[in-house]
């Protein structure tokens, strides 16, 4: 049990009568009363329950806070923390040194580093990455892929059953163009050498031709219809495109250390689309409009709150979700609905998370609204994110004005990391330097992403992300390497069972942050924010470097050295585990 949980538990019997009075008055009180202190000068944890209860109970918040604090001191707080009252009624808890030491022994002995496993584990489907087949992944795929992988790892670590599904775009109009181009001018040798590049060449050329020549456009549409009707030749070409594209995508995923349980793309649900539309019509959710089928507002919400209504020039109008075009063709909305039904039937999830660009927010609002009207049981969450910007504060582009390919971004990051390593450690050569450069370069790209609040836009800066100082992955990786070097230089064998003793201020600071790994990690899933873990790891690394400077490890001896080595080992273990949850690897040397 974490110290936060212990403080919460100690408060329960004391607050019970106050909470009962508040409930009788119809006052809603948060279930969590203790939080980490915002200002460590006043304590390690704080409680503001007195200010919440004072007004409905007609008491002074400070007097109520004093009463609660007096009862705590008289009962269960002995030895756990020292209490003080601040401001209008804040109860501050300053954890005793002995309590930190005892908690550290619990953390060190636990395979989950003190993290409590979910009492009610959920089955969670995470839909992320989802690139289009026959096209290379571009820099815009970074956010979905990396955020999705990290959230999946964290949810699994907390005890949930996570199903990762890569809902790739493997069906649709682009294949009509590729099929037509394939039959006319496929370069087999180019396809063998770089399949994604050759498929992209075909698509880009004939996409442009379709805009210029209606005859070409009609021919491409005909090839797509033949594919959808099961033409043997077209299906064979499509399957080969799919296989080659997956090979190219897996090369990227392998570098990013990202994996999926399923690759159920749009084509997987193609046969279910007619039944999906029919269901919505039968349920009275969809109706015909100008020859197409669409879902309209239910009329139960105000216009301002209704995602099926839109204000144009001061007039509220219908803003339906189209599920079948007038020519009979289906679209993304139809496929996404069919996907929802399949996931519910096959996996019975409690939650489904969509890690998708914030620009798709309207689509998901409408999708979720339809699911709600159908009494869909799983909880649906759109985990939106912002845009990656260039130095000009516009969407990140190459000098030629194109969106950079993800493989190129990773290559350049690794190359730049290799240059930094060569400057800082010329002795690191050959394959070892290449492996470290790969870890540092890829890690830098990931951490730059994960250290941001997911909804913010951020500027992509090579120099900033690869710096060995500051809030970067290399700084965290260097912290792990620094601890590794301590144990390499150790003359005697390290006592892994040594008891940690916190005597110096820097030791207490480091120890307290190590104990709080188990408290901060679950908070990541409250609003699906991996940056909370990234910021925690930075706090931990900074505390370790302060400890390292203030408290000699190898130059100490006896119980002091054994304790400090144990503190170093636990720090390395938590840093490694935290980085692993962010899917970042740490080298042994840098």
Q: Is residue 315 part of a domain?
A: yes
CB 548: neighbour CB atoms within 10 A? 19
3-state DSSP helix/strand/coil % of the chain, to nearest 5: 55, 10, 35
For 528-563, the three-class secondary structure string (H helix, E strand, C coil) is CCCHHHHHHHHHHHHHHHHHHHHCCCCCCCHHHHHH
129 and 183 fall within a common domain: no
* DSSP character at residue 169: B
Angle at 106 between CA 105 and CA 110, to 5 degrees: 115
pLDDT confidence of residue 162: 98
Dist. CA 188–CA 25, nearest whole Å: 77
Q: For residue 138, is it left (φ>0), alpha (ψ between -120 and 50) or beta?
A: beta
> What are the pLDDT tens digits along the chain (590 aa)?
899 999 999 999 999 999 999 888 888 888 888 999 988 888 999 999 999 999 999 999 999 999 999 998 887 666 899 999 998 899 999 999 999 999 999 999 999 999 999 999 999 999 999 999 888 898 889 999 999 999 999 999 999 999 999 999 998 888 999 999 999 999 999 998 888 889 989 999 999 999 999 999 999 989 988 988 889 999 999 999 999 999 889 999 999 999 999 999 999 999 999 999 999 999 999 999 999 999 999 999 999 999 999 999 999 999 999 999 888 888 899 999 999 999 999 999 999 999 999 999 999 999 999 999 999 999 999 999 999 988 888 888 766 667 788 999 999 999 999 999 999 888 888 999 999 999 999 999 999 999 999 999 988 888 888 888 889 999 999 999 999 999 999 988 888 889 999 999 999 999 999 999 999 999 999 999 999 999 999 999 999 999 999 999 999 999 999 999 999 999 999 999 999 999 999 999 88
For residues 114 and 506, the answer to whether their CB atoms sit within 8 Å is no
Token couple for 11 = 């408060």
pLDDT confidence of residue 464: 87
* Closest C-alpha among 452, 504, 488 to residue 589: 488
Q: Is residue 258 part of a domain?
A: yes
179 and 285 fall within a common domain: no
- Crossing angle (nearest 10°) for helices 232-256 and 406-424: 20
From edge to edge, which strands make up the β-sheet containing 34-36? 34-36, 45-47, 90-95, 81-86
Token couple for 522 = 């679950």
For 203-267, the three-class secondary structure string (H helix, E strand, C coil) is HHHHHHHHHHCHHHHHHHHHHHHHHHCCCHHHHHHHHHHHHHHHHHHHHHHHHHCCCCCECCCHH
Q: Is residue 526 part of a domain?
A: yes
Token couple for 257 = 């250390």
| CATH (domain of 560) | 1.10.730.10
pLDDT confidence of residue 120: 94
Q: Is residue 396 part of a domain?
A: no
322 and 434 fall within a common domain: no
| CATH (domain of 327) | 3.40.50.620
292 and 364 fall within a common domain: yes
356 and 496 fall within a common domain: no
Dist. CA 307–CA 323, nearest whole Å: 16
Q: For 457, phi and psi rounded to 5 degrees?
A: -85, 150
pLDDT confidence of residue 398: 65
Rg (CA), the chain: 29
pLDDT confidence of residue 222: 92
Dist. CA 290–CA 141, nearest whole Å: 36
User: How many domains does one find in the chain?
Assistant: 4
191 Cβ contact partners less than 8 Å away, ≥ 6 residues apart: 198, 199, 244
For residues 43 and 34, the answer to whether their CB atoms sit within 8 Å is no
Parallel, antiparallel or unpaired: strands 161-165 and 90-95: unpaired
Dist. CA 414–CA 392, nearest whole Å: 23
User: Cα dihedral sign for 228, 231, 237, 240?
Assistant: positive
CB 392: neighbour CB atoms within 10 A? 9
Q: Which of 383, 405, 440 marks a domain boundary?
A: 383
Burial readout 526-545 (b: 16 or more C-beta within 10 A, e: otherwise) = eebbbbbbbbbbbebbbbbb
Q: Is residue 255 part of a domain?
A: yes
For residues 107 and 514, the answer to whether their CB atoms sit within 8 Å is yes
For residues 137 and 169, the answer to whether their CB atoms sit within 8 Å is no
pTM for this entry: 0.93
376 and 277 fall within a common domain: yes
193 and 231 fall within a common domain: yes
Parallel, antiparallel or unpaired: strands 315-318 and 81-86: unpaired
- Rounded alpha-carbon distances, angstroms, from residue 193 to 323, 412, 454: 39, 21, 37
7 and 75 fall within a common domain: yes
296 and 155 fall within a common domain: yes
pLDDT confidence of residue 122: 98
189 and 294 fall within a common domain: no
393 Cβ contact partners less than 8 Å away, ≥ 6 residues apart: 459
Q: Which of 264, 281, 301 marks a domain boundary?
A: 264
User: Cα dihedral sign for 516, 548, 446, 457?
Assistant: positive
pLDDT confidence of residue 78: 66
Enclosing domain of residue 221: 173-264
564 and 441 fall within a common domain: yes
Q: How many CA atoms lie within 13 A of 505 on its CB side?
A: 3
- Crossing angle (nearest 10°) for helices 97-109 and 558-581: 60
* Closest C-alpha among 404, 485, 413, 405 to residue 443: 413
For residues 98 and 79, the answer to whether their CB atoms sit within 8 Å is yes
Q: Is residue 51 part of a domain?
A: yes
For residues 440 and 420, the answer to whether their CB atoms sit within 8 Å is yes
Token couple for 436 = 């470290």
| CATH (domain of 29) | 3.30.1360.70
For residues 403 and 394, the answer to whether their CB atoms sit within 8 Å is no
Q: Is residue 117 part of a domain?
A: no
10 and 42 fall within a common domain: yes
Q: Which of 338, 366, 383 marks a domain boundary?
A: 383
For residues 488 and 572, the answer to whether their CB atoms sit within 8 Å is no
Q: Is residue 153 part of a domain?
A: yes
């Amino acid at each position: 049990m974490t110290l936060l949980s212990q403080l919460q538990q100690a408060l329960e019997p004391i607050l019970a009568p106050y909470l009962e009075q508040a409930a009788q008055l119809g006052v809603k009180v948060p279930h969590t009363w203790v939080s980490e202190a915002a200002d460590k000068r006043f304590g390690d944890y704080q409680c503001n329950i007195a200010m919440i209860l004072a007004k409905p109970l007609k008491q002074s918040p400070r007097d109520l806070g004093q009463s609660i604090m007096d009862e705590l001191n008289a009962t269960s707080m002995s030895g756990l923390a020292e209490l003080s009252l601040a401001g209008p009624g804040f109860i501050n808890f300053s954890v005793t040194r002995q309590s930190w030491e005892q908690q550290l022994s619990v953390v060190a002995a636990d395979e989950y580093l003190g993290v409590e496993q979910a009492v009610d584990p959920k089955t969670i489907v995470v839909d992320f990455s989802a690139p289009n087949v026959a096209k290379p992944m571009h820099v815009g795929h970074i956010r979905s892929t990396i955020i999705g992988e990290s959230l999946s790892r964290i949810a699994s670590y907390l005890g949930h059953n996570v199903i990762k599904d890569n809902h790739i775009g493997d069906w649709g109009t682009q294949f009509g163009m590729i099929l037509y181009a394939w039959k006319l001018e496929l370069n087999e040798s180019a396809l063998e050498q770089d399949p994604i590049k050759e498929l992209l060449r075909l698509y880009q050329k004939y996409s442009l031709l379709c805009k210029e020549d209606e005859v070409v456009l009609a021919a491409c549409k005909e090839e797509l219809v033949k594919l959808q009707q099961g033409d043997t030749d077209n299906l064979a070409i499509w399957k080969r495109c799919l296989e080659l594209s997956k090979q190219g995508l897996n090369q990227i995923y392998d570098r990013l250390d990202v994996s999926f349980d399923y690759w159920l793309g749009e084509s997987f649900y193609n046969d279910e689309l007619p039944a999906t539309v029919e269901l919505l019509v039968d349920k009275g959710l969809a109706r015909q409009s100008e020859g197409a089928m669409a879902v309209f507002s239910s009329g139960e919400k105000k216009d301002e709150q209704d995602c099926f209504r839109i204000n144009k020039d001061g007039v509220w109008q219908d803003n339906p979700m189209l599920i079948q075009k007038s020519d009979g063709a289906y679209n993304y909305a139809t496929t996404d609905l069919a996907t929802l039904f399949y996931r519910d039937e096959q996996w019975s999830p409690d939650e489904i998370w969509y890690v998708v660009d914030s620009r798709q927010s309207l689509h998901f609002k409408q999708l979720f609204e339809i699911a709600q009207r159908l009494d869909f049981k799983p909880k649906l969450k759109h985990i939106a994110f912002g845009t990656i910007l260039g130095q000009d504060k516009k969407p990140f582009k190459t000098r030629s004005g194109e969106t950079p390919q993800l493989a190129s971004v990773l290559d350049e990051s690794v190359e730049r990391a290799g240059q930094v390593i060569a400057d800082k450690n010329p002795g690191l050569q050959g394959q070892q330097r290449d492996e470290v450069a790969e870890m540092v370069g890829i890690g830098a790209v990931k951490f730059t992403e994960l250290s941001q609040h997911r909804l913010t836009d951020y500027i992509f800066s090579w120099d900033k992300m690869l710096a060995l100082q500051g809030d970067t992955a290399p700084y965290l990786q260097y912290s792990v390497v620094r601890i590794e070097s301590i144990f390499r230089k150790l003359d005697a064998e390290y006592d892994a069972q040594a008891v940690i003793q916190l005597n110096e201020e820097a030791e207490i600071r480091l120890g307290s942050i190590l104990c709080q790994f188990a408290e901060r990690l679950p908070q990541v899933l409250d609003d699906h924010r991996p940056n909370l873990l990234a910021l925690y790891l930075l706090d931990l690394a900074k505390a370790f470097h302060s400890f390292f400077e203030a408290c000699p490890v190898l130059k100490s001896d006896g119980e002091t050295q054994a304790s400090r080595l144990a503190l170093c080992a636990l720090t390395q273990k938590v840093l490694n585990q935290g980085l692993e949850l962010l899917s970042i690897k740490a080298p042994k040397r840098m």
